[in-house]
Amino acid sequence: MPKRDDLKTILIVGAGPIVIGQACEFDYSGTQACKALKEEGYRVVLVNSNPATIMTDPEFADRTYVEPITPEVVEKIIAAERPDALLPTVGGQTGLNLALALAERGALERYGVELIGASVEAIRKAEDRDLFKEIMTSIGLDLPRSGWATTDLAAMEVMKRVGLPAIVRPSRTLGGTGGGIAETPREFAEVVRWGLASSPISQVLIEESIAGWKEFELEVMRDRADNVVIICSIENFDPMGVHTGDSITVAPAQTLTDKEYQIMRQAALAIIRAIGVDTGGSNIQFAVHPRTGRLVVIEMNPRVSRSSALASKATGFPIAKIAAKLAVGYTLDEIPNDITRETPASFEPTIDYVVTKIPRFTFEKFRQAKDVLGPQMKSVGEAMAIGRTFRESLQKAIRSLEVDRYGFEPEGSEALSRADLEAKLRTPNARRLWYLGDAYRRGLTTEEVSALTGIDPWFLENVRRIIAEEDGIAADSGPLDAGRLRAWKRMGFSDRRLAELRGESEAEIRARRVALGVRAVYKTVDTCGAEFAAHTPYLYSTYEGEDESGLLGARGKRKVMILGGGPNRIGQGIEFDYCCVHAAFALREDGFETLMVNCNPETVSTDYDTSDKLFFEPLTLEDVLEIVHRENPEGVIVQFGGQTPLKLAVPLEQAGVKILGTSPDSIDRAEDRERFEQVLAKLDLLRPVNGLARSAAEAVAVAERIGYPVLVRPSYVLGGRAMEIVYRREDLERYMREAVRVSPEHPVLIDDFLEEAIEVDVDAVADGEDVVVGGVMEHIERAGVHSGDSACSLPPKSIPAAVQDEIRRQTVALARELGVVGLMNVQFAVKESVVYILEVNPRASRTVPFVSKATGRPLAKIAARVMVGRKLRALGVTGEIIPKHVSVKEAVFPFLKFPGVDTLLGPEMKSTGEVMGIDGSFGMSFAKAQIGAGTVLPLSGTVFVSVLDADKPATVAIARRLAACGFSLLATDGTAAHLRRAGLRVERVNKVREGSPHIVDALESGAIALVINTPEGAAASLDSFSIRRTALERQLPYFTTVAGAEAAAEGIEMLQRGALSVRALQDYHSAASPGSSV
Amino acid sequence: MSGARPAILALADGTVFRGGSFGAEGETAGEVVFNTSMTGYQEILTDPSYRGQLVCMTYTEIGNVGINPEDVESRRPFVDGFIVREYWAEPSNWRSRESLGDYLARCGIVGIGGIDTRALVRRLRTSGAQTGVISTADLDAERLVRKAREHPTLVGRDLVREVTCAAPYDWHQGLWKLDGGYQTVADAGRFVVAYDYGIKWNILRNLASAGCRVRVVPAATPAEDVLDMRPDGVFLSNGPGDPDAVDYAIDNVAKLVGKKPLLGICLGHQILGLALGGKTYNLKFGHHGGNQPVMDLTTRKVEITAQNHGFAVDVDSLKGLAELTHVNLNDRTVEGLRVPAQRAFSVQYHPEASPGPHDANYLFQRFMLLIDTGEM
């Protein structure tokens, strides 16, 4: 069937901000869908509040709305653009929920919008667990015993039938938020209460626990002629009980015979048909009993999912792109397979390698959170690796994770008792993989380890064999020969791990390996096991005979390699992938052959058509040098992928690799404290008074010299890790004792903390001569909140023009002095109109995509061009673009996923993603950003205020504005008194410790519409913690800084004044841009 | 394969792969083919159609699920050699009873592991199927290449006589179920005689479960003897090698056409094509795997099929003789034909799967319909 020509305009819904459970895989899928539909000649309208996405680049859609993804707002977009159809299946759960909400409010019918990809009915059948169960039973499929409940009492009834242990899953939450396993009746009651609170419809599903069963996933696609194919099978290394997003997963399935696999395949076909997903992809999860083979259906996602992204990268089959084409009426046999060109998409990919994905966790960011994995997803990113065997792919995946692991290094459990080690194995946790290694070193058998972990013996035997090989490597004392070395490399051992095991240096191992000619070769991911010729150069390394990379790619073109950012984590996310993708696009447009290196399967950068050659490889020195050896590019771009590639700049340069753009020496001048002092002295620029301490005593001395409060951080970690603001000597001593390991090699940095200073971020691009400021952003939250966690406004909201100009002058001076070629980000603090420099990073920053969306100027593309020798002037990039509209960026936090964690902001970054609000005024843009981030600013009701003494004067004005807007005020004792003295009418409420009825009771009863609560110092009292936590769990808007509250008041005023309106990015840009030629 | 005894695979074109031995030791020669199925090595090993061939699995980890007593397609393995990237000797599956290596050793089948199987596949893809030798006995590469060159190709060889049953037998086993294994099917109303050119048992299981009493007969059984059995339908099975070489089968089938409802699968399909007056030819490297897209031209639906053949029916040679019913979407080769007037149809692929997807098992129902009503 050909494509439908009754459709002209199609609305695509993005997934919004990056949150746990919904990461950049939906930028990947949305971008593919946009490209596919535009390619087919449709007019594409896109809505997504996340500015750091490629899909929101204005060229990917005809009309791009960076607006909150709420039914109200999207209905306005529908009214303005009158799309014929809405594709909700490439925007994650957000897309599906929005489609359902639009259908429920009648908006689709009102404007004659057809849902394509999945109907409301199919979405309901898949999402409503009761209905799903009914349908599965009707087609003869087995499920775990279950029942659902909307009250505690009903839950107990269900428990009697289902038995314990039982799993509790709240309805309609992302990534299983609020779920848990209960082993005892008491635990059960607790988990149910939490689950009911998390569910937007107060409903939980209680299921027979099938923890310990083998877990599988199938990626299925169907077209409107009812052709169904399986794209990929995935087997979880971690058995049932750990959310699949938190599990190590392997493709293809490893431990099923064909008979068993075909039963699962038949079931998947029956399910997608019964649910009625007419076109597109679905992800179906199954569990298999390890001893009887009983197969039960777990769930189905009637849309492109995280697993679909993984399956796409694992097989080379572009699921989202094909799903988009199927949605407009094509059938699978009408769509060519891009990779082979000659065969159609109606086939099942076969792979001749093993893919391993390992999730990346950041428990260290949330000190109160327990490192225990369960049905609620907690990982923030993932790394994928490809090898010819599981052992090779597993070891490659480990070093792709960037957790300072290069293999199965001991986890240090020698000191643990056997019982403690067994507990580490029994309870899933982020380090369990390495505890497995320890268990084998201690002599546990596979049978024992399997009994403790439930992990299939096949996976465990592979780990055991790696550990056994390590013993052999360590015992082997003779000179290395090519045969043994090759055998080890084929098992995936890194040079670094081999070096550790043999007591040599990594450089020595590498030199010997190179001398022996043991080098990596590159094989193609081609969907067909080499049955057909592949045209897309998607490659991975292995140690075998034949190299295929030389056969692919363009000849005679200048070659540039771009290093990606690796797994997502807090502090390094999609923003850096965005920059890498832009570099690839710009250089390809300019006729270069681009080589992309990355190991994050969620990203656009690892799409096979983003670059000319994709190397799906770990970002370690070894792996990058091997590619350089094979490809010999003229230079490497390290400044776009964040810290991961930046760390490689110096070692790569030392190995003779040309680093494009700003030189590693200049980067070092900006990062090395002493050298940077010299730069500042030369330019006569200010930074906060600071010092270095190599012991606790020295730290106290430095702090007393500077004067409290001070900002302390270890010198050897980046991204705000373990950074703290210290107000008193006791706190400093505690910090030195508990938070850092100080030594002469690893001193602690101590800075004067500029209280109440306004922070400013500037992004600029320079070509070694000229410097152009990309954007000046004023942070909303005051100094002390990590720049990644602070909201910001472009252009600045309150900074006087003269100060802004001074900031620009300093930016230009720094860029010139450092010889920046490419991007640079500077963080300033402004206090009493004095400008201080906090940090200079001569590389891409987290704000580059935001600035690009706000100004319409593609900074990363410009920077890439400059780095290969072009000049800003020649590119027509001269003056700064200062838009008339206001863009506000707001951070999005994962607190809800971590029970017991405080929501306070500080110098350590905690946000996972960001949204952008764009409008004519600061207030409205801020309000949009809040809505986009899930905080719906109320227009009426009661505001609860409880602030620090220091914040009380500033709070009066905010309270007055809110009162003028018609809000009633409620405050705890001190705050109430202060506000009353200012002449405001305030009702008083008990603090928790003053007894019921207290503020938490009021929050839980739903009497409060907005919370303003500023905490005292670093150590928040239990009282204010319970307020913030309750507000979070009740999903009430809450502000923990005065500046945030003030911005909220302004937003509320704007929202009251007039309804929120929508406008496409293309309209903003045509009004703002002077017509840059880039 | 460190630790394993060295083994060499040498191809007629001079390419040599050095790896490690598993399974039996010794020397073996045959046509080297690759199979792209990611599951089902046990069924592949026991498929008599692989007689005369050295099979290379494109998936790399082989041996994971071991060997069990159920997943067999005939009385013993028929491949002449097995080639894998990584042999795994510690199986994990609740039905496994034995490791793959032990099984092959027990059955005298030479295996080689640890070689760059992808390079081998690319070689076969570009230069076509060719003969090869696996040896653990002789490690002189040049000599092995010579032996590979001297070994006959499949063209013109009758391998069917080497794999067909010695005497007729009745079949009662139905399809496998997860809970309960194979079912025994009580005698049903229809009676089908199945020519064994190297028949896969799952075809027989499908026929039994579809409601047939099945009698399996040796490949050379005269058509007259079959007609004397008064079957309701006759089935022409899969099997190894070149269809042109089994002239006796072609002659017998020509006598059956029009007399009884006929279904042919794989070699049976080619034999039917030849019996109807068509021609067959040797494909460059054949179709072996479980992911081949085939379109049923009557319904326009695509089915994902299991395939295993090196020869194919020439579409042009069928003009005026038979109707094309199924076509391979990868290379547009003939996948199915029918002659409604003669109540005969056949497919090149394997609706019985095993291994592979079950998309096409409706064809057994189509055969039942043909037997019952004469309609198709």
Contact status of A229 with chain B (Cβ, < 8 Å):
yes
Q: Which of B43, B266, B287, B303 is catalytic?
A: B266
Report the residue count for chain B: 376
Within a 13 Å sphere around the CA of B265, how many CA atoms are in the beta-carbon half?
Answer: 33
B328 vs A388: CA distance, rounded Å: 29
Strand partners, A691: A750
- Say yes or no for a CB contact (<8 Å) between B59 and A352: yes
The yes-or-no verdict on residue A718 having pLDDT over 60 is no
CA angle A795, A913, A31 (to 5 degrees): 95
pLDDT digits (tens, 9 = 90+) for A529-580: 999 999 888 999 999 999 999 877 667 899 999 999 999 998 888 999 999 9
- Band the pLDDT of A314: cuts 50, 70, 90: very high
For chain A, percent of residues with pLDDT exceeding 70: 97
- Say yes or no for a CB contact (<8 Å) between B90 and A390: no
Residue B353 is nearest to which of A262, A348, A523, comparing CB atoms? A262
- Say yes or no for a CB contact (<8 Å) between B43 and A346: no
| Token digits of residue A842 | 């001569």
- With contacts defined as CB-CB under 8 Å, which chain A residues touch B304? 229-230, 346-348
A618 vs A623: CA distance, rounded Å: 6
- With contacts defined as CB-CB under 8 Å, which chain A residues touch B290? 348, 350
A397 vs A127: CA distance, rounded Å: 33
Domains present along chain B, CATH in parentheses: 6-150 (3.50.30.20), 160-373 (3.40.50.880)
Among A360-374, A485-499, A982-996, the range of highest mean pLDDT: A485-499
Residue A130 is predicted with a pLDDT of: 84
Tell me which residue of A166, A154, A150 sits closest to A375, measured CA to CA.
A166
The yes-or-no verdict on residue A1078 having pLDDT over 70 is no
Residue A529 is nearest to which of B36, B42, B43, comparing CB atoms? B36
CA-CA distances (angstroms) from residue B46 to A655, B43, B55? 53, 5, 12
| Contact present, A485 and A451 (Cβ < 8 Å) | no
B154 vs B289: CA distance, rounded Å: 19
Determine the average pLDDT of the residues in A831-842.
95
Residue A536 is predicted with a pLDDT of: 87
Name the stretches of chain B with pLDDT < 70.
1-3
| Token digits of residue B114 | 């640890």
The yes-or-no verdict on residue A1076 having pLDDT over 50 is no
pTM of the complete model: 0.95
| Sole residue written with tokens 């002058």 | A809
Q: Active-site residue B172, yes or no?
A: no
Encoded amino acid at A766, one letter:
A
- With contacts defined as CB-CB under 8 Å, which chain B residues touch A350? 36-38, 58-59, 289-291
A179 vs A170: CA distance, rounded Å: 6
**Helix (H), strand (E) at residue B35:** strand B27-35
Determine the average pLDDT of the residues in A992-998.
87
- Say yes or no for a CB contact (<8 Å) between B64 and A350: no
| Contact present, B68 and B95 (Cβ < 8 Å) | yes
Whether the ω angle into residue A997 lies within 30 degrees of 0, i.e. cis, is: yes
The yes-or-no verdict on residue A174 having pLDDT over 70 is no
Instruction: Find residues 331-360 of chain B whose CB sits inside 8 Å of chain A.
Output: 353-358
User: How far A842 CA lies from chain B's nearest CA (Å)?
Assistant: 43
A295 vs A289: CA distance, rounded Å: 7
Least reliable range by pLDDT among A61-70, A412-421, A1068-1077:
A1068-1077
Q: Active-site residue B56, yes or no?
A: no
Residue A175 is predicted with a pLDDT of: 57
Where residue B290 falls (left for φ over 0; alpha for ψ -120 to 50; beta otherwise) is alpha
- Band the pLDDT of A801: cuts 50, 70, 90: very high
| Contact present, A758 and A830 (Cβ < 8 Å) | yes
Helix (DSSP H) and strand (DSSP E) numbers for chain B: 10, 21
Closest residue of B to A345, CA-based?
B293
The yes-or-no verdict on residue A720 having pLDDT over 60 is no
- Say yes or no for a CB contact (<8 Å) between A530 and B355: no
Substitution target in A257, A292, A331 with the highest count of B β-carbons within 10 Å is A257
- Say yes or no for a CB contact (<8 Å) between A258 and B302: no
B366 vs B199: CA distance, rounded Å: 20
Give me the interface pTM, i.e. the ipTM. 0.98
Residue B116 is nearest to which of A290, A294, A545, comparing CB atoms? A545
User: How far B218 CA lies from chain A's nearest CA (Å)?
Assistant: 28
Q: Active-site residue B165, yes or no?
A: no
- Say yes or no for a CB contact (<8 Å) between A544 and B119: yes
Residue A227 is nearest to which of B38, B70, B302, comparing CB atoms? B302
pLDDT digits (tens, 9 = 90+) for A901-932: 888 888 889 999 999 999 999 999 999 999 99
Contact status of B37 with chain A (Cβ, < 8 Å):
yes
Residue A129 is predicted with a pLDDT of: 80
Return mean pLDDT, chain A: 93
| Token digits of residue B98 | 């034995």
Contact status of B85 with chain A (Cβ, < 8 Å):
yes
- Band the pLDDT of A101: cuts 50, 70, 90: very high
3-class DSSP assignment, residue B309: strand
Substitution target in A227, A258, A294, A548 with the highest count of B β-carbons within 10 Å is A258
Contact status of B8 with chain A (Cβ, < 8 Å):
no
- Say yes or no for a CB contact (<8 Å) between A293 and B90: no
Where residue A668 falls (left for φ over 0; alpha for ψ -120 to 50; beta otherwise) is alpha
| Token digits of residue A128 | 């409503």
- Band the pLDDT of A413: cuts 50, 70, 90: confident
- Say yes or no for a CB contact (<8 Å) between A389 and B58: no
User: How far B192 CA lies from chain A's nearest CA (Å)?
Assistant: 26
User: How far B117 CA lies from chain A's nearest CA (Å)?
Assistant: 9
The yes-or-no verdict on residue A825 having pLDDT over 50 is yes
Residue B1 is predicted with a pLDDT of: 44
- With contacts defined as CB-CB under 8 Å, which chain A residues touch B358? 262, 265-266
| Token digits of residue A890 | 């707001």
The yes-or-no verdict on residue A310 having pLDDT over 60 is yes
Contact status of B300 with chain A (Cβ, < 8 Å):
yes
Contact status of A212 with chain B (Cβ, < 8 Å):
no
- With contacts defined as CB-CB under 8 Å, which chain B residues touch A488? none
